[in-house]
Structure 1
Amino acid sequence: MDLSEQVDGQRMIMGIDLAPSTQHMQEYALVVINEKGAIIDRREGVNWEVVSRLLKKYKVDTITVDNIFEIGESVSEIKRRLSKVIDKIRLIEVTRVGNRYVKLAELAFREGVLNERASHLSPLQAAEASALLALKGVGTTIIEPSTIRTAILISRGRSLGPGGMSQGRYSRSQRSAIKQVTSLVLDELKKHVDSSDVECYVQRSKFGLERSAIILNATPSYVKRLLRPLRDLIKKSGVNLKIVARIPALDDKQASLDNREEKPIIIGLDPGIVTGIAILDLHGNLLFVDSGLALDRMSIIRTVTKFGNPVVIASDVRRVPLVVEKIASILGCTVYTPPRDLSVKDKRRVVQENVVNFKDVVKNSHQRDAIAAALKAYFNFKNKFMQLEAKAKELNLSRPQIERAKALIIKGLTIKEVLERVALDDKPDKSFATTQAEPEIQRLRSELSRLREKVEEQSKVIKDLEESRLNLLKQLKEKEAKIEELEEELIRAYLKSPHTTQDEAIKRRLEASAKTISELRTKIEIMERELEGLKHLVRELAQGVVVIIKEIRSITRRSVEEAVKYDVLKKGEIVLVHDPSSSTVEGVELLINMRPEAIITKIDKMPKEALEVIKENCIPVIDIEEVKVEKASDFLYTSSTIKEIIKAKKEELLAKRDQSLKERLKDILQRYREERARELEKSRQ
């Protein structure tokens, strides 16, 4: 039977597993089977280009993996790698059964794919097992072509640089063009797609639109076909139109409204190109705040229902936005809008007064507006909640009953009606038997917690870098304004002075001004270089290309305490020590207590005793010559490849420690045996 007979008209499944590799390039093992389970092809050590080629060759309709992040390290990379087939292929994560994960080898044995229980599978065995499991209907579908939505992002064709009147004209024409293209695209889409399936968000400006986002229930390839008649017009307009696949299951598989938590919550929403989301409980506590670009209705619903059962959805404007109205209708909750549109001043005040550490919590105006809307809704019901709490204590109601009562208050019932309904409700509270979590799940949760802490830490570093960049930008503008002022003064002085006379005072003044201008220009050049360095650092840090390094002068008590006091040094960071030669016992102890991930220094300058104590505590010490440390403004950083050096040194230190412990234990046992032998010898005498 030739290949075409094996493939045509049959369901084709490709199992993939990432092979361990010492090189940076990812290599895969893959197995292709047909609907009868017969193996069509199996390969090892192939790159993604070969995988893509075989997907097309065998007309594969299902890809199976034991972990979706073996395809790409992030959701965006998974989308990019599957972009050509994303609306034709189903992606199944076979180890995900319901809301928990099962080891592939265990699952394969349980389902009869393996005859014997195995502790580990080779990449080729793993690929074959995942394909056969999917054929049996095992696993969770992560990408399903029918659920894919498409976002059309329309923005300026290029960014605006410095300029004068020409720049202004170009800016106006671009905004007008974005508005026209958005209208054309909407008109074209509505010829073929139901208007209720199309969502449009815009950011308005004086002469048109800054940008727009259109989201619809259709696959990217179908949308591209619909917009083909407009291709030349869009190209001539000079605007940028980008078509992006939105795959709900990649962010959170199947957010079922029926299975959401019972805890009632208040939602604050600031819809737009960038949508702000805030979630409060019924005590006014902020549970969650975030913002995202071109979020569609289902993405918002999936996010909020993770935290509980929405009973109020609030907006910061009097007229209910269409998105808020539709989401409230889907969730079946009450809509709250203020009596008048909230001013920026009002929103700042309510957030500052009610959110602890609001400067760290609130990242942008969209998040602020969402929190303000939610808080205003909470305060609208707060008095009734307090009255209800007082009555509930008299009736000895439980906390879940009080929470349900508050939700009914929001629905419009009186306190008396609510209390009668809740008090007569004999339904026992739902309880869930707690079972001991599997060790693998515990390990994954621990790893997830550690990664979240790392993300928070990196986010803070990026925020600090952004603040430094903005400060430099502010100083730069001030210097440029000073230069313009001096240049104007220089010209005025020159025009006032008679050209034929050589007034020494004016000459000296002109020379001084010229010198000042020269100095300011030099400072601006330095600031521009620093600013560019910070931009580069923020970009690389976000991509994970570099890691931040903290620094201390020496390993002395004073130096370490100062670094901790002024928040320069925190636990678990990489530390650069400039002068290790003056290390003291107290300083070494304090530094060890901070559990640094690694110490970078001149090893030959560090006292031998200090080095030994640090190594005994399994803290890697890296010589400054082994890594390249760079600086951007006040921040030190190095390549993320240092992580590999740290890992190798850490493993070496742990191995030495284990060996030392074994030898010590052996020595103790030997001494015990000798002592016991002597005691026996004495007893015989």
Structure 2
Amino acid sequence: MAAQTTQTIFGVDIVKGSSRSREAPRYAVAVLNGSVEKYSSVSRFKLLRLIRQYRPGILAVDSITELAENRKELVRFLKRLPPEVKLVQVTGNEHQEPLTKLGRDNGITFNPVMPDEEAFAAACLASMGVGYIVSAFEDRTVIKVSRGRSLGRGGWSQNRYRRKVQGKVREKVREIEAKLKDRVYDMTITEGFGGYVNGTFIVNARRSDLGIHSSREEDVQVTVTSVEKEAIEFIPLQRRKRDYIIVGVDPGTTTAVAILDLNGRLVEVTSSRVSSIPDIIEHISEKGRPVVIATDVVPPPGAVEKIKRAFKAVLFTPNERIPVEEKVRLARPLGYSNDHERDALAAAVKAFNTYKNKFAQIDKKTPSHLDANDVKALAIEGKPIEMALDMLTAPPAPERPRGAILPETEPDAKLEELRARLKQKEEQVENLRSYMGDLRRDMKHLELRVSSQDRIIRNLKSKGIDDVRRTREITIRDGEIARLKKESADLKRRNSELQSNMDRLKHIRAMEFRGDKAPVKVVESLSKEAVLNCDRKFGIKAGDVIFVRDAGGGAEAAAMLAERGVKAVIKGTPMSHMAEERLFRAKVPVLPRDDVPLKFVDGYAVLDPGRLEAAIEKWKAYAAGVEKRGREEKLLGIIDEYRAKRAREYRNDSKASD
């Protein structure tokens, strides 16, 4: 029989193949969404397509090994699911029970040899709250914004294209930052030319709660992934209604409440301006059974004392007021939205850390048939661990022999027990009376305060809304004006640089036409960046004369000059052997500065054309001599090699004749 369900639930069972075999697995699928649909055999691809189509709340299986061979494959499979889908293993956590036994215990009959019926049984069990959620991700999400394509090898428009793409990345980062304004997150950005190279957000929230999805546009891509846990965790699908909890409270105009379970996991952190003490007590009771009420100050506020008395919980206060730095360190890993939530969360974490070692001992000593949290609750009340275990372990009922008469309970012992119970009840009544008196005083105070606040609210309501809107609009416009001013200043500076370069180029071209002085383009150093910078400013073309102020660079920059067909290179300092050899092979004269005197005018140099030609002719004669010596050395080498060969042949012939 199927249980009624208000959400779509998928039950899945493997038909053939397995996650460990080479044969692709196929699955039987049962869909519960008010009616029942069954698919007898679907591939993994179609299973994922059905999940994306139906968007079920639960994907139930009898064993997660049917979906993945190991943890890595399981995480990969979970990443392909929509974020709201929970994977549930109905047979238990690490310790599993047979599906047939679970079905029998919950009134579900099915044929275990039929995969589609097993899938249906798994879906029904999950709808009844049987099973464990397979949790592989923390409640943290990484959002990465980066370029959507490579910038390529470059060209005339390389810088403009880089500025465009990195500007798009910056716009997308700001867009996501606006969406996360009410969230707790860390952001890192890498700035680039005209914008951002990339930006990364680490948000303290589940991926399904953000409303931001992975996407790819023309120039920008957004990748949204959940942060993996160190180990797969199994969370009960249907928690106990009254779990033991540790509550941190920060009272005041804004009251914040932080709730942890006895394993230190965050249950909830919230804050409100309108919650009264009774509202807070009711809210806490809905979340669980408090065993510790914690505060971050000494002495504890009266409101915290009232909440503690309402639950008869243990009050935790630190030895001294917790510093702000320590509060941030304690609360930041769990996440908070404001300073009040931070203080409440720090108090709860501080209380948990106080009992942490004792909790670890209890986990080791508690037998499997007892709930360790029950032992922890008794230990917090002050009971020794051994006594708590004895109190929770029901003694076995002794066998009554035939004919034996059980001794009656002694009247004195029974009377003492009744007196102790009566005293306990009287203390409870007294605590409740005291608490009721506090509530009545608070209620009168709040009634007066509410009537006063109502008058103020009526006067400020209409005016306040307009002021907020106007302030928000002004802030937005001021930000836009500042951004436009910055862009305008950047454009003016760039325009000034380009105008200066144009004037220099006109002057150089005029001197070239007159012929009285030969212009020389200056490269600051023999490096690729310096050559490209000179090319951008003045343009390096065939027939140019280049002066390298610092010639101690590499062969790559020399090759760039040779490829552009320059007429000659004048070196300001000694040039490396590899660079000079590269220019020599390209037949580009390399001239010392002493041979060609230069005059510097406005960032470039001029020289006497006659002196230049004389120096080039001198270099050509030197180059011809070098080539001639090279040919002679090569010829002598051939002759020496021939002589050595003939000598070897002669020696071999002499040995053969002997």
TM-score (ref. length: structure 2) = 0.35
Q: What's the TM-score, normalizing by structure 1?
A: 0.34
The higher radius of gyration belongs to: 2
